[in-house]
Amino acid sequence: MGQLTFRGKLLAALGAALLILVCVAVLSYRRILQEDADQKSVEHTHLVLEKIDSVSSGLVEQENGQRAYPITKDNSFLRSYDAGLANLRQNLADLRKLTSDNPKQQAALDRLDPLVASRLALFKAYRQGIVTQDKQEIDDKQLMDEIRAVFLQMRQEEQNLLSKRLEAAESSSRRSKFIIASGYSLSFLLLALAGLVVQSEITKRIDTEHELKSVQERYHLLFDSNPIPVWVYDLETLAILDVNKEASRHYGYSRDEFLKLKITEIRPPEDVPALLADLSKSFSTEEDSTTWRHTKKSGEIIDVEIKSYPVRFGARDARLVAALDVTERKRAEEAVRQSEERFRLTVSNVKDYAILMLDTEGRVISWNEGAERIKGYRADEIIGQHFSRFYAAEDLKAGKPAAEIKEATENGRVEDEGWRVRKDGARFWANVVMTALRDESGSLRGFGKVTRDISERKRAEQEILQRSAELEAANRELEAFSYSVSHDLRSPLRAIDGFSQALLEDHAAQLDNDGKNYFQRIRAATQRMGELIDDLLGLSRVTRAEIHRERIDLSSLAEEVAADLRNSQPERDVEFRIGQGLQAEGDSRLIRVALQNLIGNSWKFTSKRPDAQIEFGLIRSNGRRAYFVRDNGAGFDQAYADRLFGAFQRLHGMNEFPGTGIGLATVQRIVHRHGGKVWAEGVVDQGATVYFTL
């Protein structure tokens, strides 16, 4: 609209200026004509005046001739007079003609004509002598005065006319000058105004153009250097009309390739119908934001978030599209979603643990199957309820729920074991772990709570505790008993033996052989009793001792035991065959006791053989390594093999072989305490083999 105003203004100014100029031109032309006319009429007046003067001077010459003639009677005067007369007549005629437009002058001429004629007639009459000179002179003078008066009048008339005309011409010229000058001034003013308007308009247009240019540059900058793929497509043909660099880079098409594509061609074919349907309905929408799948030149399909706006592109209705690749984001979101789904399924299906979530106030917001099983509430009964209802009355009184919330908030976690209450009021012993859940910014979102019903375990633990206590008491008793046996049972034996000896030594004279024999038997019995007590204490010690497992060199242990036996009875000749490099894990003290008993037994039971052989080695039995001690001694009846390992069980008489019958029981105890097995094979008089594993 401003344009139109500008154009109207400009046209009006220019039109007005033109009109004024035309007027001034017309006026000037007319002025020129007028001046011409004025000039002519002035000139005419001058001409009339001249004629008047020349007629007047002709008359004066005639008068002079008339006067001179009478004096001189020179005919030459008459001739010039006649010539002058013709001239006068001619001049008068000219004058009449010249003043034909002026009735006043014509009237004056009309008056003049008879005067001139009268004078001429007078002179003619003089010349003809009809009148005297005096008369003629007097009359002529009168006539001349009259003529002069007419001329004067005419002259005055003509002078008046001249001054009038000069004045008129001057005033007309002045007026014209003023009109022309003001016309020009006005039109110059208007032109200057128009010029100014044009100037300002041009400046304005230049500014606008600059601005337009910088806008265009900015637009290109924004469009081309936009880090998001952007293009414009024709709403009707769907052809891509313009595309930015990022789109080329991201989709793999060059700009030229892109401009040959339609937007349907960067979609997977199966998505095209949906796209067309969408386009047909969303033409009218101002702005649109949706997620689509696009195909790159490589064929790779990406997820994009599209934002589009309707635009005019040249003369076309088009749409500007910004396509943000969200493939990675969607993939991550999908992974998170799947993970959450898996987690949710896992949690909700867990039956052995109550897994629930609390809001920051402690109200239940999620509930799994385990929670329902353990606490007895269905999800719809408990969600929104405060978790304090799971606590026993005494814990509620003590403010435990609030304290646990506080601790979990402060330390991130709280663990508790204690009584909790089911919906039906029954109590169960629970292990509860409550963890504060915080979001990325660290603000508290709620609590995760895992509760296990460990009533069974608690019961079992209590039972074990009780058993342990009982066992410990029994052990203490046994220890006290052993200690007591060790001290108190041996003392009387020593007294019996000691005083028997004293009797035999100090009172031998008063004893016969039977008496001495009996005292000897008392002494043997007490000594055997001492051995029994020692062996029993050994067995008990083996039972009670703690096992310290370590790597043991069994071969050298067996060698040491053999050496001790040889030293105890150097007179015996026994062949030891001890396997080399045998190693085992076990308690070295106890294993030594076991080997002492086993090899000691072999030593004892081969005492009647001159070719005694004792072997220690390793065999494989049922896939297990078994050590063995074998001898070629007295052996035993396999039928009694099971009884061998019982305490005080003996297969030989005391007279045959001494012993307490506790050795193998001790060996069995040691092997069992190592988690192994022990068994024996024997043939009477051919030898025995005892096997053990560790």
Partner 1 sequence: MDDKVILLVEDNPDDEALTLRALKKNNIKNEVVVAHDGIEALDYLFGTGAYAGRDLNHMPQVVLLDLKLPKLDGFEVLRRLRASEPTKFLPVVILTTSNEDQDRIKGYGLGANSFVRKPVEFDRFIEAVRQLGLYWLILNERAPLPRSV
Q: Which residues bind partner 1 (CB under 8 A)?
A: 482-483, 486-488, 490-495, 497-502, 523, 526-527, 529-530, 541
Beta carbon of residue 568, minimum distance to partner 1 (angstroms, whole number): 15
Beta carbon of residue 673, minimum distance to partner 1 (angstroms, whole number): 17
Beta carbon of residue 668, minimum distance to partner 1 (angstroms, whole number): 22
Q: Looking at beta carbons only, is 176 or 526 nearer to partner 1?
A: 526
Beta carbon of residue 593, minimum distance to partner 1 (angstroms, whole number): 13
Q: Looking at beta carbons only, is 281 or 487 nearer to partner 1?
A: 487
Q: In angstroms, rounded to a whole number, what is the distance separating the alpha carbons of residues 586 and 591?
A: 7
CA 124 from centroid of its chain's CA atoms: 139
3-state secondary structure of 653: coil
Q: Looking at beta carbons only, is 446 or 538 nearer to partner 1?
A: 538
Secondary structure of 560-585 as H, E, C letters: HHHHHHHHHCCCCCCEEEECCCCEEE
3-state secondary structure of 1: coil
Which neighbouring-strand residues pair with 290?
306
Beta carbon of residue 492, minimum distance to partner 1 (angstroms, whole number): 8
Beta carbon of residue 479, minimum distance to partner 1 (angstroms, whole number): 9
Beta carbon of residue 484, minimum distance to partner 1 (angstroms, whole number): 10
Q: Looking at beta carbons only, is 27 or 511 nearer to partner 1?
A: 511
- Sheet containing 240-243: which strands, arranged edge to edge? 240-243, 230-234, 316-325, 301-313, 288-295
Which neighbouring-strand residues pair with 308?
288, 321
Radius of gyration for the chain, computed over Cα atoms and rounded to the nearest angstrom: 79
Q: In angstroms, rounded to a whole number, what is the distance separating the alpha carbons of residues 158 and 49?
A: 7
Beta carbon of residue 483, minimum distance to partner 1 (angstroms, whole number): 6
Q: Looking at beta carbons only, is 499 or 640 nearer to partner 1?
A: 499
Q: Looking at beta carbons only, is 148 or 589 nearer to partner 1?
A: 589
Assess contact for 503 and 516: CB atoms under 8 A: no
Q: Looking at beta carbons only, is 106 or 588 nearer to partner 1?
A: 588
Q: In angstroms, rounded to a whole number, what is the distance separating the alpha carbons of residues 199 and 192?
A: 10
Q: In angstroms, rounded to a whole number, what is the distance separating the alpha carbons of residues 89 and 112?
A: 12
Q: In angstroms, rounded to a whole number, what is the distance separating the alpha carbons of residues 491 and 497?
A: 10
Query: In sequence order, which residues have a C-beta less than 8 Å from that of residue 586 and are 6 or more positions away?
Result: 547, 549, 550, 552, 674, 694
Position 542, amino acid? V
Q: Looking at beta carbons only, is 145 or 479 nearer to partner 1?
A: 479
Beta carbon of residue 658, minimum distance to partner 1 (angstroms, whole number): 14
Beta carbon of residue 494, minimum distance to partner 1 (angstroms, whole number): 5
Beta carbon of residue 569, minimum distance to partner 1 (angstroms, whole number): 18
Give the dihedral sign, CA 547/548/553/559.
negative
Q: Looking at beta carbons only, is 659 or 676 nearer to partner 1?
A: 659
Q: Looking at beta carbons only, is 291 or 491 nearer to partner 1?
A: 491
Q: In angstroms, rounded to a whole number, what is the distance separating the alpha carbons of residues 123 and 129?
A: 9
Q: Looking at beta carbons only, is 311 or 489 nearer to partner 1?
A: 489
Q: Looking at beta carbons only, is 477 or 642 nearer to partner 1?
A: 477
- Reported for 245-248, long-range contacts at CB under 8 A and 24+ positions apart, including other chains, are 247/323
Q: Looking at beta carbons only, is 66 or 526 nearer to partner 1?
A: 526
Q: Token digits for 651?
A: 């297969």
Position 499, amino acid? F
Residue from 168, 137, 161, 144 nearest 56 by CA: 144
DSSP 465-481: HHHHHHHHHHHHHHHHH
Position 363, amino acid? R
Beta carbon of residue 631, minimum distance to partner 1 (angstroms, whole number): 29
Q: In angstroms, rounded to a whole number, what is the distance separating the alpha carbons of residues 664 and 650?
A: 10
Within 10 angstroms of residue 257's Cβ, the number of other Cβ atoms is 14
Beta carbon of residue 548, minimum distance to partner 1 (angstroms, whole number): 13
- The total number of residues shown for the chain amounts to 694
